[in-house]
Amino acid sequence: MANRKKVTIEDVAKKAGVGIATVSRALNNQGGISAATKAKIVQVIEEMGFTPNTSAQSLKIRQTYQIALAVPDIRNAIIPDIAWSVEQAAKQHGYRVVQINTLGNARLELETLREIKKLHVDGLVMMPLAYPKQLESLINQTGMPISVINYSKRLGADLRADVVGLSRQEGRLVMEHLKQIGRTRIAYAGAPKDKIEERYFAYEQSLPHVDVSLVYFGEDFSFETGRQAANYFYSLKHMPDAIYAVNDMVAIGIVNRFKELGVRVPEDVAIAGIDNNLWSTVTTPQITSVSIMGSEVGRLAAELLLKRIQSAGATEYERVEFEPRLIVRESSVAANYYTRP
């Protein structure tokens, strides 16, 4: 008589409609799954006659059911949206998230990759900012599932990681908008030029020539950088009539300081930023911004990572791009703009 095919943990997971990690949690009486899901898995195990392989089961126990999330700066208002989405996706699969703050520093980004295995995690979602030259080679050498949240950088086709980002340059949307509403003396306020440099290049490439007096590079992406930028532009003999801010927090800092200086927004100066974080909608005036789809990007990056962990890396690496969206608000157009026929 022919031998009956041995039922595997993969067979149980498929019939129960859950991931392999979830079946493993049920077998090892670990948390992270609901009572209903556990009962369903137990029922499928009994129906299929599954007997855990003790040696294989011990290997499963070595899984930590944790993933790491490396972000540039938790103080940046868009990061909590991304972190929240990553955490929620992880929870749905019974995973916890360990967060790392790289400060957008090249050394720390590389150190994260070199030291990641010491954190005892099963995978890494990484949001680089500095993009040091060795970044891609180190990603390829880690031997760990990695998902990259990528804004603006062109990454190599041989990168051994899933990548989620944007389909086009978000800064171009800002510049197109400011020119479309008739502003001609457009300034740029940003962090150091080597940080998200593509956002500055979008400014540079959108103008026939750049007036360097209208470019302000601050120290970071903060509210205070915005206030300092406002002071600088206010000191000019001829102020700009529009400002493209590298992100919303810089834009909000500019608006805040201009109020104190008596500069009207948008009547005197139109302002637009990037990120579309919560604070852009609760300021007065509300901030025109480009949504970089932070929540959606974070969620998908986590889901691709978990899929790779649970399938033992069997699938091809994915490249997914979201479409950035310009959201026009009061900081760049007068109130009557919304009521025009």
pLDDT for 86 equals 97
The pLDDT tens digits of the residues spanning 61-99 come to 467 899 999 999 888 888 999 999 999 999 998 899 999
Are the beta carbons of 146 and 161 closer than 8 angstroms? yes
Distance between CA 261 and CA 241 in Å, rounded?
15
Q: What pTM did the predictor assign?
A: 0.76
pLDDT at 63: 76
* Number of alpha helices (DSSP H) and beta strands (DSSP E) in the chain: 12, 12
- In the chain the domains, ranked by start, together with CATH numbers, are 9-61 (1.10.260.40), 66-168+293-324 (3.40.50.2300), 170-291+327-339 (3.40.50.2300)
pLDDT value of position 53: 58
- Residue 17 makes CB contacts below 8 A (sequence gap 6+) with none
pLDDT at position 61: 46
Stretches in the chain below the pLDDT threshold 70: 1-5, 28-32, 52-62, 312-314, 334-341
DSSP annotation string for 252-316: HHHHHHHHHHT--TTTT-EEEEEE--GGGGTSSSPPEEEE--HHHHHHHHHHHHHHHHHTTT-SP
pLDDT at 243: 98
Structure tokens at 281: 């909608």
